[in-house]
A and B are shown apart, each in its own frame.
Chain A
Amino acid sequence: MSGEAKLIIQDLCHHYPDEYTGESVHALEGINLQVYENEFVAIVGPSGCGKTTLLNIVAGLLPYREGRAMVDGNEIHGPGPDRGVVFQEHAILPWRSVARNIGHGLELQRVPKEETRRRVQEYIDLVGLSGFEDRYPHELSGGMKQRVAVARTLCADPVIMLMDEPFAAVDAQTRITLQDELNRIVMATAKTILFITHSVEEAAFLGDRCIVFSRRPGQIKTEIKIDIPREERVWKDMASNPKFTNARDEILRLVRQEVTSDDEH
């Protein structure tokens, strides 16, 4: 892979302590993963396999004890603006207008007002929310809210962008539009992205590389390269693209194995 590794994860394990029973939940086991500059890595896996756990550790929202996790060569300790997160639920602030939500990261980093204004406008245009600058989140549709969330994260200019099933809560039609848009944004901004999803189609459509997780405790089962240039990744052409359909069917087969294999745990 070209470029340097922006995210390095080595032998990462995680156990959640259970306050009530005293037993612990083994969520992640021996994760080794690298994400390179400008790479889009998608993670799929059965529900409850530890995907969100991994993302929260990278985001610095969950402390870890076993293994290592580094971003840009720095060990991860707590959250920071170098790792932007788009959450599954709407995490934009209801008391800030669209523009003030998108510029929030820059405001917190004390970027001068004039530059903030310019960059906010740039990202508002990029996600197609021109004209909605002064609206409040409750006046927006679910899809628009998630666009604001994506723009907010992008505008803070993180080293790596972490996305946890960002389009799971919108309807199928909007999801397709948002996926197309995300592709366009990735081309325009050249970001490094770690993307978590339930949807095999979404992973195959967006990822340069797709990581398939096993059931809990989450381990990396396989990884599949999806060698389709970004410019060709448009939904209306995808159904007839054998590279896409092959990758999708392969990922689907692997995920099915995990879901239907005997209960051995």
Chain B
Amino acid sequence: MTAITEFSIAVQKRVGRQRLLKAFKVLLGSVPFIFLIILWELNTQFVWFDPIEIPPLSDVWGAIFFLQSDCPGFVAAMQQHNDCNLTNNIMSSLGRVILAGVVGIPLGIAFGILAGMNRTISGYLEPVGIFMNSVSGIAWIPLAIVWFGVGWETTLFIMLNTIFWLIFFNTMMGVRAVPKVLVQGVQTLGGSYYDTIKHVYLPGAMPSVITGMRMSLGFGWRALIAAEMIGGDSGLGFMIFVSAVEFKTEEVFLGVILISLIYLISDRYMLVPLEKWTIERWGLVWKPT
């Protein structure tokens, strides 16, 4: 017993308590996934479901190589060579997410700040914002197809429309919640109107802006997949749809897993660090320990 305790203390000293706790958290989080994978493998063994309904894990893995089989190599994949089926679809979805984010997020923040600070502007924009937000991103797909036809314009429009209104609304609410005394403090230090935006409203609205980004990523990604299925000619959503029609279930599984992975990675490696760097460091949110 004491040997075990001593060992664990030694390990803690060596690796560091924080790191160990983090590793433990990752381990906890992967338990459900491991459980699912075991079930999945058992299904392959005992064939509770037909392989056409739930294909074996190895087939899903194999689909990666099948889809990329004609791809001449890594460089060609990066250059979106015609035969690099899988990477092309991934990049096409990712590209639109990034483009929509790069355009939609700053635009939403800018209008959100203006509307949050100015009663007249928010008087104009709030009703239309509520109206646009109440119609879910997906509901626009038929109309967007009529306007832009099947293709990347439609999917980009759906993304932008979803992201912009979410960011706009959250930023506006965040700006309104900034204590007036902080603004007055900067004004009495000689700050201009522009200074109050830069030094008070923008950082003060940050918790809401990040919430807006997180919602945008979730809703936007989903809307994009749906748009690609119905009104797109490329992307992971398009791939899933085509594969399902052709009963290539392993490709459908692969697509779904990739979509979730990309979402998970962008949340962990973009939003979480942003959160740590801003609102957690400033003590604006409750920090779990």
Contacts and interface: CB of A to CB of B under 8 A. Distances in A.
A105 B186 CA distance: 8
A84 B188 contact: yes
Task: Describe B's contact surface by its main secondary structure.
Answer: helix
Interface residues of B, number: 23
A94 B184 contact: no
Given A59-B188, A60-B188, A85-B185, 20 more contacts: A61-B184, A78-B187, A80-B188, A81-B189, A85-B188, A91-B179, A91-B185, A92-B185, A93-B185, A93-B199, A94-B282, A94-B283, A95-B204, A104-B186, A108-B195, A109-B190, A138-B282, A138-B283, A138-B284, A156-B189
Nearest first, the 10 A-B pairs at minimum CB distance are A138-B283, A81-B190, A91-B185, A105-B189, A79-B187, A95-B203, A95-B282, A85-B188, A91-B181, A79-B188
Contacts of A136: 281-283
B289 to A, nearest CB: 15
18 contacts: A61-B187, A78-B187, A80-B188, A81-B188, A87-B185, A91-B181, A92-B185, A93-B186, A93-B200, A95-B206, A104-B189, A104-B199, A108-B186, A108-B189, A108-B190, A108-B191, A137-B283, A138-B282
Interface in B240-281: 278, 281
A202 B200 CA distance: 32
B182 interface: yes
Contacts of A91: 179, 181-182, 184-185
**B182, B192, B206, B284 pick with most chain A CB within 10 angstroms:** B182
Contacts of A139: 283
Interface string B73-93: 000000000000000000000
Contacts of A105: 189-190
A216 interface: no
Nearest to B287: A138
Nearest to A56: B184
A136 B280 CA distance: 11
A83 interface: yes
A87 B189 contact: no
Interface residues of A, number: 28
B190 A80 contact: yes
A152 interface: yes
B122 to A, nearest CB: 17
A248 B282 CA distance: 42
A206 to B, nearest CB: 21
A79 B188 CA distance: 5
Contact of A87 (B181, B200, B283): B181
Contacts of A108: 186, 189-192, 195
A152 B202 CA distance: 21
A66 interface: no
Given A79-B184, A85-B185, A138-B283, A156 B190 contact: yes
A152 B283 contact: no
Contacts of B281: 136
A80 B179 CA distance: 19
A33 to B, nearest CB: 19
Contacts of B186: 93, 104, 108
B113 to A, nearest CB: 15
A223 interface: no
A91 B189 CA distance: 12
Contacts of B283: 94, 136-139
A250 interface: no
A79 B179 CA distance: 17
A87 B189 CA distance: 12
A87 B282 contact: no
Interface string A83-123: 11101010111110000000011001100000000000000
Nearest to A110: B190
A92 B186 CA distance: 9
Contacts of B191: 108
Contacts of B284: 94-95, 138
Contacts of A138: 282-284
Interface in B155-200: 179, 181-182, 184-192, 195, 199-200
